[in-house]
Amino acid sequence: MRFYREDYRALYAPGGPGPVWDRARQVGAQLATRYKHFERVYDVGTGTGGALHAFHEAGRTVSGVDLGEEYLAYGRKRLPRAELICGTEDDLPDGEADLVLALDTIEHRPDLLGALRAHRAKLAPGGVLVINVPALVSTVQTYHGLRQYVQIAHCWHFTITTLRAACAAAGLSCRGVEYGVVECHPIEPVPHVPDYSVAAHTVALLNQAAGLDREVPRMRAPYTAPTGD
């Protein structure tokens, strides 16, 4: 956590909180239109809280957590009714959120399935988790090559197939999947999938993209993911 408290923003957002706020606010405006009937919204890894701005302006109850106090302070000045906490999702109540946002965050979490399950626990009945991650397919366009994509801050790398598999392992059903945004709903009961199977499949796909592997092994039972997107 020290890395995210002290070093991350200097490395990846040298322009300060302003540009981060602007980009997140644009994303949040689109989501607020799509999920306009949801009353209580959490944003995990909220940064400045920009993604909550449109929900806040619409009178929704919004809460965000992040490890960067400077960025949270920037957001508090602009979102006076928002609850912006320096901490993690553990600092938010379970079972109360109609909508949980995890925008460009889960790829940073060493315990991927633990993070997804923790997000799932925050949802109220009928709640939705919205995930956004960098797509492995866009390495050239976005990161100018695989080497830059595989950076110190990212623990995981996704295609739609591997993201679906990870969500299923965490008890989440993916709906409305597209490159950019994934909408997830809780599954009951939670299926048992060995944690290592998701990691192995993700690594295999990464190796293939780098030209190190000719074949991508299928996910192990009981969940079998398709080999392509």
pLDDT in tens, 28-73: 999 999 999 999 999 999 999 999 999 999 999 999 999 999 999 9
The single-letter DSSP state of residue 137 is G
Query: For position 78, what pLDDT does the model report?
Result: 97
Query: For position 3, what pLDDT does the model report?
Result: 77
95: Cα within 13 Å, side-chain hemisphere:
0
Q: What percent of the chain has pLDDT over 90?
A: 49
CB count within 10 Å of CB 167 equals: 25
The domain ranges of the chain are: 1-81, 104-229
pLDDT in tens, 83-129: 999 999 999 999 999 999 999 999 899 899 999 999 999 999 999 99
Is residue 21 within 8 A of residue 77, CB to CB? The reply is: no
Query: For position 181, what pLDDT does the model report?
Result: 60
- The whole-angstrom separation of Cα 41 and Cα 212 is 42
Return the axis-axis angle of helices 69-78 and 17-34, rounded to nearest 10°.
60
Mean pLDDT of 140-145: 62
Q: Is the pLDDT confidence value at 185 over 90?
A: no
- The whole-angstrom separation of Cα 23 and Cα 200 is 33
Greater pLDDT, 141 or 92: 92
Please give the mean pLDDT across all residues of the chain. 79
- The whole-angstrom separation of Cα 121 and Cα 164 is 18
- State the pTM of this model: 0.77
Greater pLDDT, 159 or 108: 108
Cα–Cα distances (Å) from 12 to 64, 142, 195, in that order, read: 20, 14, 29
- The whole-angstrom separation of Cα 178 and Cα 113 is 21
Residues in the chain: 229
Phi and psi for 140 in degrees, rounded to 5?
-70, -45
Report whether CATH 3.40.50.150 matches the domain 1-81: yes
The single-letter DSSP state of residue 224 is -
